[in-house]
Amino acid sequence: MYETYYQLKTKPFTLLPDPEFLYLGAKHKMALSLLEYGLTNGSALIVIAGDPGTGKTTLLNRLLDETRHPWTVGVLSNTHVGIGGLLPWIAASFDLSITGKSDVDAFHEFSKFLERERTAGRRVLLMVDEAQNIGATMLEELRLLSNLNDGRRRSLQILLSGQLGLRDLLKGPGMVQFAQRIGVEYTLDALSEEETLGYMIHRLEVAGRRAPLFTTLAGRSVFRLTGGTPRLINQLCDHALVYGFAAQTEAMTARIVLETASARDRHGVFPFKVSPESVEWSPSEFEKERAEVETWQARNVDNPGASRSEPLPEAQDPVSIYHQAVALKETGNYDRAIVLLDLLAEQELWVVKALAQKGLCLKAIGQHKEAIGMFHNAINRPSARVEDRTALQYMLGRTFEEAGNMAEAVETYRRLQQPGHSYRDVEARIARLNGSQMKSETQAGSAPSSWLDSLFRGNRKKHGSVFRGERPQRFFNSK
């Protein structure tokens, strides 16, 4: 929701392992070089280990994106000792069916598959994720599969990726033969403080941000809290941007980062390396940060893109928050309305209203899939009344219709049909969507039965273009 405000093309701190965002610090650059060497030189076994969130999957995705040789890749994830033999799972990862075959026949079928790929000029790579969960028996099975070769080069290369427990597993008893087959191995450590700052700047630049955003002290705070673990950096920075956007701040300072961390820490769901309360900075460091922000502002004084909209209005109680959000929505300030509605949705007595209004905001800016999710969420809330659910079903049908999902729209509208009574213009809409002659909408009108019905009617009268699927001139595009 903050992308437009902070001049970003996309979210810079997404948790998805997108190789475009890979930051090649010293450790990740070395890991990438070793992995490239292992694949290029046909190493039978390649091992990369590291704590959760250090960027192993992102690194592997980048590796496969950059390789010029054609690969046939199979991926095993969430393996554990309880899944039985590995070969059926390995075959399935390559879309190879060996169902009903004996172990011997299955092995020969897999050998034939490798031969076909080699003849076609493709290399075969098996990637085993979370490999620390497999036991000695499965590792022995992998070792035997690694013996498949034509005498000149490997027919199958195996890459094991896992947490630090993988190293302990490979050092265990009976693992000598397996360990001797490992051509390349590397342990990926967390980022240093300097690398953390570079990592944050890099991701912001990839996302389209040209001007500085996080102060140096804010970056140092992120490092202290996360220990330099990329996944934790992403989580903290993403939430900090949400907090900063809600407060309409132009610079992400250490105070914002620490306040964000403290709020998250109270809920007990964020695995910080240290307590946010333990991170303290001296007055002189805060003074340096203030001077840094002033320097940014001086550089941007002549930049038209540096101007911002009015700050969010203050909201104290739920009634005030709700009315301010509705006012923002009706003037086209959908992004700012959504921020307030998210705050309101945390209170059970207001959650149905908040979700409905947020659904209307998302619908107005063309995010139909997200709007449908909001309406479904509101309908399923225990606090939703019967008349609320009726109005929400109608909104859901209209959203399906605008999104081009005509079958879903008809099915949703039909749920609103009652014997001898048709809710609003549902009958006419069903007839039109089924290819029948459209009936007059004036025959289907009925008095609003709830606040949801009223707000939908009112918004349609005030902002007819919004509810006909036309994109408003001013909207917030969240990717």
For 311-353, the pLDDT digits (tens) are: 434 444 677 788 888 888 887 878 888 888 888 888 878 889 9
Per the CB < 8 A criterion, the answer to whether 123 and 67 are in contact is no
CATH architecture of 193-306: Orthogonal Bundle (1.10)
CATH fold of 26-188 reads Rossmann fold (3.40.50)
**Per-domain boundaries in the chain:** 26-188, 193-306, 318-468
Helix/strand/coil for 241: helix
For the stretch 2-58, pLDDT in tens is: 888 898 989 999 888 888 888 888 888 888 888 888 888 888 889 998 888 888 888
Lowest mean pLDDT among 272-276, 412-416, 439-443: 439-443
Instruction: Tell me the H-state helices in 331-385.
Output: 334-344, 351-364, 368-379
- Distance CA(293)–CA(305), nearest Å, equals 17
Return the SS3 of 268. Answer: coil
pLDDT tens-place string over residues 114-171: 888 888 888 888 988 888 888 788 888 888 888 776 555 667 889 988 888 888 888 8
- Cα–Cα distance between 377 and 341 in angstroms, integer? 14
State if pTM tops 0.75.
no
Cα separations in angstroms, 47 against 37, 195, 314:
12, 24, 54
Helix (H, G, I), strand (E, B) or coil at 300: coil
For domain 318-468, which architecture applies?
Alpha Horseshoe (1.25)
From first CA to last CA, the distance across the chain in angstroms is 8
Instruction: With CA atoms as reference, report the closest residue to 368 among 396, 326, 389, 394.
Output: 396
Separation between Cα atoms, residue 295 and residue 292, nearest integer Å: 5
Structure token pair of residue 207: 């996302």
Topology match between the domains 26-188 and 193-306: no
Q: Is the pLDDT of residue 466 over 80?
A: no
